Chain A
Amino acid sequence: TVGAVAVDEAGHVAAATSTGGLTAKRWGRIGDSPLIGAGTYADDRAAAISCTGSGEHFIRLGLAHELCARLRLCGDELSIVEQDLIAELGRIGGKGGFIAVTPEGDARWAFNTPGMYRGRVSHDLEAQIAIFGDE
């Protein structure tokens, strides 16, 4: 699975996710990536988020929408919400992570796997690339 989130000069956010799914998937199995609110969500009142991992768990949590709702309705910081949701994901046996950015430019990634292919760049931050959890 691959994904991107962005906030532009005008403060608008957007998210996109694309995947080949799971090797040997059967019976028309679909994961979270194409389900709006599960693996992909964007709302200028909250954030843009793109997820990757064990899709069934992201679907059950409605994780992408849950993150945006927490920011919008509870006024929580992204740094708090992302940790809460990764912990929640782990509690139901899920594995994976997500990237998220707010209209104010708060940009974070979170994951509970050993690694995640990830990168970020800003108007005022050089491009950063990482794969392993300790980078």
Chain B
Amino acid sequence: MGWTLMIHGGAGSMRRGQLAEADDAAGRAGLSAALEAGAAILRDGGSALDAVEAAVKVLEDDPAFNAGRGSVFTWDGRIECDAAIMDGRDRNAGAVAGVTATRHPVSLAREVMANSAHVLLSAAGADAFSKEHGLEQADQAWFAIPERRRQLDEMKARPEGAFDSGMKYG
């Protein structure tokens, strides 16, 4: 029995010739780094659970993708993250929604799975759980990158475009 790892960095309207070269290169570099992080664990006989967490953490740190550091802004100019993780062995699962201050939301989801009686924690409660359980904290400035701010400003400049109708960035 061998091992396999797959990753994604989001689906969307990326078309050849329209994606800036720098964005193309940044995306491919980020995907390669995430694959290597997970494959290194699997190659050593590690678990699928550890491998998917490691790969997603790399993508969470990469501003090229919409998660963690590359997160988008809410209407109010805040960063809120969601994450989930699930173990096929026993269908144990952990998830967080609307968290604002944990550097790696996927690791917080795993902490919920491993060290709480719950599956899904949200918002201020999940932020408090993160602090109490010693996860690495990050302030809003860590997550806020200029291109995402520009995208928010662009969307807010279109008063007719309700936040979901465009589904333009995310």
Q: Which residues of A contact B (CB under 8 A)?
A: 1-26, 28-31, 33-36, 39-44, 48, 50, 52-54, 56, 95-101, 103, 105, 107, 109, 111, 113-125, 127, 129, 131-132, 134
Interchain CB contact under 8 A, A14 and B82: no
CA–CA, A15 and B65, complex, Å: 18
CB interface residues, B 36-68, toward A, < 8 Å: 36, 38-39, 42-43, 45-49, 51-53, 55-56, 59-60, 65-68
CA–CA, A100 and B8, complex, Å: 10
Q: Which residue of B lies closest to A128 (CB)?
A: B35
A18, A101, A117, A131: which contacts B83 (Cβ < 8 A)? A18
Interchain CB contact under 8 A, B3 and A24: no
Q: Which residue of A lies closest to B18 (CB)?
A: A114
A interface, by DSSP: helix, strand, loop or mixed? strand
Interchain CB contact under 8 A, A43 and B6: no
CA–CA, A4 and B10, complex, Å: 11
Residue from the set A17, A111, A115, A119 with the largest chain B CB neighbour count within 10 Å: A119
CB interface residues, B 69-106, toward A, < 8 Å: 70-76, 79-89, 91, 93, 95-98, 105-106
Q: Which residues of B contact A (CB under 8 A)?
A: 1-16, 19, 24, 27-28, 30-32, 34-36, 38-39, 42-43, 45-49, 51-53, 55-56, 59-60, 65-68, 70-76, 79-89, 91, 93, 95-98, 105-106, 109, 119-120, 122-123, 143, 148, 151-152, 155-156, 163-164, 167-170
Known A-B contacts A6-B52, A14-B51, A119-B32; the reply to A99 vs B6 at CB < 8 A is: yes
The smallest C-beta distance from B52 to any residue of chain A, in angstroms, reads: 4
Q: Which residue of A lies closest to B99 (CB)?
A: A34
Find chain B residues with CB under 8 A from A125 CB.
Answer: 4
A4, A22, A33, A54: which contacts B6 (Cβ < 8 A)? A4
Find chain B residues with CB under 8 A from A43 CB.
Answer: 88, 91
B31, B47, B89, B143: which contacts A44 (Cβ < 8 A)? B89
Find chain B residues with CB under 8 A from A105 CB.
Answer: 1-4
Q: Which residue of A lies closest to B66 (CB)?
A: A20
Q: Which residue of A lies closest to B31 (CB)?
A: A119
The smallest C-beta distance from B161 to any residue of chain A, in angstroms, reads: 8
